[in-house]
Amino acid sequence: MTETEVREKLRQFILTDLIKDLKYALTDDEGIVSGGLIDSFSLAEIGVFAEQEFNVYIPDPDLTKAKMNTLNLMVARVMRDLK
């Protein structure tokens, strides 16, 4: 899977399941947690999605607001361990 594919999958997931608004114009470096778009519950959900979709296990200490705040950060974290 390419980085572009990972990015699009994550973007779709965030819009559909987390922000619940497909029309929202989400940018790559926008603070999703700090901007109040998603809450702490969603961090755990990102962990589940990354495991199911990319078979990447992000350990709990990495599932934090600071480390998952933007689409760019999420993509980078997934790409790091993507096989």
Partner 1 sequence: MLTLETRPQWRTLLDSATLLVPDERPAIIYLETDKAPVTVTRSQFMGEVIRCAAALQTVGIGARDLVIIAHIQNLESIYGFWGALWLGAVPSMFPTLTEKLDPDHYMQSMAELTRRSEAKAVLTTDTFAPELAKRCACPVYGTSDWLPDRDEQSETTNMMLRRPKPGEIAFLQHSSGTTGLQKGVALSHQAVLNQLASYAGALELSEKDVIVSWLPLYHDMGLIAGFIQPILQGIPLVLMSPFDWVQHPALLLRAIHEYRATLCWLPNFAYNHLARRVRVRDSEGLDLSSVRAFINCSEPVRQGSHQLFLERFAANSVTANQLAVSYAMAENTFAVTQSLVGEIANTDMIDLEALQRDLRAASVAADAPHAAPQVSCGKPIANTMVKIIGDQGEVLPERSVGEVLVKSDCMLTGYYHRPDLQPFDAEGWYKTGDRGYIADGEIYIVGRSKDLIITAGKNVYPQDIEAIVYEVEGIHPGRAVVFGVPDEREGTELIAIVAEVDVTDEADRKVIYQALRQQVVRAAEVSVSFVSLVERGWLIKTSSGKTARTTNREKWLVERAEGRL
Number of residues engaging partner 1 in binding (CB under 8 A): 22
Between 6 and 46, whose beta carbon lies closer to partner 1?
A: 46
CB-nearer residue toward partner 1: 37 or 79: 37
Q: Check if the beta carbon of residue 65 is closer than 8 Å to that of residue 40.
A: yes
Q: Is 28 in the site for partner 1 (CB under 8 A)?
A: no
Q: Are 33 and 71 in contact (CB under 8 A)?
A: no
Q: How far is CA 82 from CA 10, 38, 71, in A?
A: 14, 24, 16
Q: Write out the residues near partner 1 by the rule CB under 8 A.
A: 20-21, 24-25, 35-41, 43-45, 47-48, 51, 57, 60-61, 63-64
